[in-house]
């Protein structure tokens, strides 16, 4: 190599090293909402219901809410049935040996010591599994496929999420020794999606896991060859009773404390594979930042309460939302809202209110139109953390629907991390919630279906 070409190489190397940073610069936001998501994901991380980490998250939340100026900050603990993950692995052993990316579903029971080696039967849909006779899968593993696709309103999670919620119970009824499903997710990463399954009381719980979408594609292609499938499955996670969980609640008292309050919910617990940034640290960040921003032009008329709920993920029927209604069901509430669908832009609004609330609903719609957020057919249902209080008091409900095209790419996976939160979209959520709160928290009249009776 000549001296001049050596020099050219050195210059080129210098130019390249100047253009490539030593490490990636993380996406950085600012403001109350960003600080909450960044803080929970950095200082706590994964926080499974009933785990010591969820306890640390409650302490973190209480301290944060006090520091932000909230009053009556309370940690309200309860005991819950929880679940802990164990070692997990799977591989196809016939007709082709292939490793599979798998994760256990919450409330799965462990496979036998040394793993379960069994024939695996492919079902293209939940309906196909339902159609086989009871007892026909004795000693076998059921694999349930499905065709969940991304939808802007996330509505595919209803029908296709049933594969996770109900599939294991149905497989157990058919006699299956274990069940594997295609993840309830819309990404093409090799990330399985966890999430809870609830075994019906009259069935024996069985080991239950989900494989990533590319692995489910592989199983489907292999099944199409028509040769028998076999799997070697290890899932050691198991349930445990009487675990500590709890809610954190905090108020921004209104000018008239006698008026029914507004409750804004999110959930503090998360699955363990990621750090629970979009599900649901973002929700807690959005509602909390908006409650504060709504006071910017002066103290609101009504008290706004935030509920950072415990055990939403595994507490179906008895989690933080139920505990909140048990403790606070006698305090008059006017409106309930919840944020639990990530941090992408709000685009749709839905309402459940009495006919007498129409003028108020029209005011809220008018506040959202300039942001490009349009009213959609109801009903609004709030979410798991406010379901019990809505039922108890027949509350008015407003849903601010976020863009769900990417939510189920990340949901309950290792990809649910801070870098997926777009600071600008997070702020758009805060602005939308603030616009709604400025209207409803300053409404002097009666709000809600119960009040209209």
Q: Retrieve residue 328's tokens.
A: 């606070």
Half-sphere exposure of 223 (CA within 13 A, CB side): 17
Give the DSSP per-residue string, 237-290: -EEEEEEEEEEEEEEE--S-TTSPEEEEEEE----SSS--IIIIIHHHHHHHHH
SS3 434: helix
Q: Retrieve residue 273's tokens.
A: 């594979």
Q: Retrieve residue 308's tokens.
A: 């950072």
Cα 205 from Cα 199, distance rounded (Å): 6
Cα 147 from Cα 143, distance rounded (Å): 14
Please, what is the minimum distance in Å from the beta carbon of residue 433 to Zn ion? 17
Query: Please, which residue, 283 or 448, has the CB nearer to Zn ion?
Result: 283
Cα 13 from Cα 95, distance rounded (Å): 50
Query: Please, which residue, 167 or 451, has the CB nearer to Zn ion?
Result: 167
Sequence length of the chain is 453
Please, what is the minimum distance in Å from the beta carbon of residue 377 to Zn ion? 23
Please, what is the minimum distance in Å from the beta carbon of residue 237 to Zn ion? 17
On whether the CB atoms of residues 65 and 306 are closer than 8 A, the answer is: yes
Please, what is the minimum distance in Å from the beta carbon of residue 396 to Zn ion? 22
Query: Please, which residue, 414 or 451, has the CB nearer to Zn ion?
Result: 414
Please, what is the minimum distance in Å from the beta carbon of residue 404 to Zn ion? 13
Query: Please, which residue, 85 or 438, has the CB nearer to Zn ion?
Result: 85
Please, what is the minimum distance in Å from the beta carbon of residue 196 to Zn ion? 8
Query: Please, which residue, 233 or 268, has the CB nearer to Zn ion?
Result: 268
Cα separations in angstroms, 343 against 150, 153, 248, 276: 16, 13, 21, 12
Query: Please, which residue, 340 or 415, has the CB nearer to Zn ion?
Result: 340
**Residues forming the site for Zn ion (CB under 5 A):** 279-280, 340
Please, what is the minimum distance in Å from the beta carbon of residue 64 to Zn ion? 19
Please, what is the minimum distance in Å from the beta carbon of residue 23 to Zn ion? 31
Q: Residues 6 or more apart from 325 whose CB is under 8 A from it?
A: 388, 389, 391, 392
CA 434 to chain centre: 22
Cite the beta strand spans of 340-394 per DSSP E: 346-352, 374-375
On whether the CB atoms of residues 409 and 185 are closer than 8 A, the answer is: yes
Q: Residues 6 or more apart from 1 whose CB is under 8 A from it?
A: 9
Q: Retrieve residue 115's tokens.
A: 């793993």
Nearest CA to 102 out of 207, 225, 238, 204 is that of 207
Query: Please, which residue, 234 or 429, has the CB nearer to Zn ion?
Result: 429
Please, what is the minimum distance in Å from the beta carbon of residue 267 to Zn ion? 6
Query: Please, which residue, 178 or 266, has the CB nearer to Zn ion?
Result: 266
Query: Please, which residue, 340 or 387, has the CB nearer to Zn ion?
Result: 340
Cα 434 from Cα 426, distance rounded (Å): 12
Please, what is the minimum distance in Å from the beta carbon of residue 271 to Zn ion? 6
Query: Please, which residue, 280 or 443, has the CB nearer to Zn ion?
Result: 280
Half-sphere exposure of 128 (CA within 13 A, CB side): 10
């Amino acid at each position: 190599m000549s001296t001049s070409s050596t020099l050219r190489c050195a210059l080129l190397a210098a130019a390249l090293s100047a253009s490539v940073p030593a490490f990636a610069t993380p996406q950085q936001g600012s403001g109350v909402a960003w600080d909450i998501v960044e803080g929970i994901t950095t200082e706590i991380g994964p926080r499974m219901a009933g785990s010591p980490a969820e306890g640390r998250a409650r302490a973190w939340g209480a301290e944060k809410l006090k520091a932000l100026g909230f009053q009556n900050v309370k940690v309200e603990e309860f005991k819950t049935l929880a679940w802990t993950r164990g070692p997990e692995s799977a591989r196809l052993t016939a007709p082709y040996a292939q490793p599979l990316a798998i994760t256990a579903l919450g409330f799965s029971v462990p496979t036998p010591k040394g793993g379960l080696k069994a024939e695996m039967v492919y079902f293209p849909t939940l309906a196909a599994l339902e159609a086989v006779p009871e007892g026909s899968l004795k000693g076998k593993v059921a694999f349930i496929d499905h065709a969940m696709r991304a939808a802007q309103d996330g509505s595919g999670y209803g029908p296709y999420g049933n594969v996770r919620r109900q599939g294991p119970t149905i497989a157990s009824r058919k006699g299956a020794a274990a069940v594997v499903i295609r993840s309830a997710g819309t990404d093409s990463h090799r990330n399985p999606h966890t999430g809870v399954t609830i075994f019906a009381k009259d069935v024996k719980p069985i080991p239950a896991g989900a494989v990533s979408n590319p692995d489910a594609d592989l199983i489907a292609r292999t099944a199409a060859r028509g040769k028998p499938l076999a799997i070697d499955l290890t899932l050691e996670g198991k349930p445990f009773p009487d675990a500590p969980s709890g809610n954190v609640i905090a108020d921004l008292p209104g000018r008239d404390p006698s008026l029914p309050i507004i409750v804004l919910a999110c959930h503090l617990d998360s699955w363990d594979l990621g750090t629970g940034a979009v599900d649901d640290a973002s929700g807690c960040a959005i509602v909390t930042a908006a409650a504060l921003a709504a006071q910017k032009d002066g103290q609101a008329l009504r008290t706004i309460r935030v509920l950072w709920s415990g055990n939403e993920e595994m507490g179906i029927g008895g989690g933080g939302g139920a505990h909140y209604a048990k403790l606070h069901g006698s305090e008059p509430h006017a409106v309930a809202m919840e944020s639990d669908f990530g941090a992408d832009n709000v685009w749709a609004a839905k309402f459940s209110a009495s006919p007498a609330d129409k003028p108020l609903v029209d005011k809220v719609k008018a506040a959202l139109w300039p942001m490009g957020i349009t009213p959609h057919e109801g009903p609004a249902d709030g979410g798991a953390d406010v379901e019990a209080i809505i039922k108890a008091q027949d509350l008015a409900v407003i849903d601010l629907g976020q863009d769900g095209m990417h939510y189920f790419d990340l949901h309950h996976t290792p990809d649910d991390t801070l870098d997926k939160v777009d600071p600008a979209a997070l702020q758009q959520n805060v602005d939308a919630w603030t616009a709604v709160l400025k209207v409803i928290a300053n409404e002097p009249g009666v709000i809600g279906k119960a009040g209209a009776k």
